[in-house]
Copies of this chain bind each other. A is one copy, B any other.
Amino acid sequence: MATAKTAPPASRRRESSRLAILDAALALCREEGYTKLSVEAIAARAGASKQTIYRWWPSKGAVLLEALEREVAESVTIPDTGDVVADMRIVVGNLIRRHADPNFGPHVAALIAESQQDPALARDALERFVKGRRAPLAERLRRAQQLGQLPASLDPEAILEVVFGALYHRLLLRSGPLDAAYGSFVVDVVFTGAAARLDPATDGSHLR
């Protein structure tokens, strides 16, 4: 009656090489910066051959993406205290703290940068880093909408784009410090309408 014990076709890929390469990529990025990161350097540092890298990743950006993913694998739990603004304040605070970390923020910046010239990486980064990790956040907003705490007509993902956009602005353009105060400011503007015009005559009227 035949064998086929268990194992799926199973790639013969060596896990030790994979990890060494991811580690080397991260380490190089931290020590020398993304600029100095090259497939050649990763291979040398990891004791791997370039071929092995090219066999499994399409580009150095993809290696870094996977390395970063491994780093932040611990699932981020979204608080739900019932107060969506308060929750957002916490979440944005955490996000900012993480992106202000010189071991994380600049790498994200580098990936966004690399994405400009590498459509495949762009797609991957968008899917796995942006949409993927943002999903529970969007879900939290949707719950708030159902509770009538947020206008139901607004696309939660779009709102998050405004929030993250503000965050990335400081990350990418260094237009100011990426700190708690800025995070608070952004939450105020987006979730409390802090910047809404005061003129009572027309306030909100365009929204109908």
Contact = CB atoms under 8 A, between A and B. Distances in A.
A188 B166 CA distance: 15
Interface size class of A (residues with CB under 8 A): 35 or more
Copies in the complex: 4
Interface in A136-177: 144, 148-151, 154-155, 157-159, 161-162, 164-170, 172-176
A195 interface: yes
6 contacts: A84-B197, A113-B117, A130-B173, A149-B198, A165-B170, A193-B195
Interface in A6-44: 33-35
A180 interface: no
B85 A202 contact: yes
A186 interface: yes
B188 A192 contact: no
A32 to B, nearest CB: 11
Contacts of A157: 175-176
Nearest to A88: B197
Contacts of A168: 165, 168-169, 172
Contact of A113 (B116, B182, B193): B116
A143 to B, nearest CB: 13
Contact of A150 (B114, B198, B204): B198
Contacts of A172: 112, 115-116, 168, 172
Nearest to A112: B172
A191 B195 contact: yes
Nearest to A167: B165
A169 B131 CA distance: 13
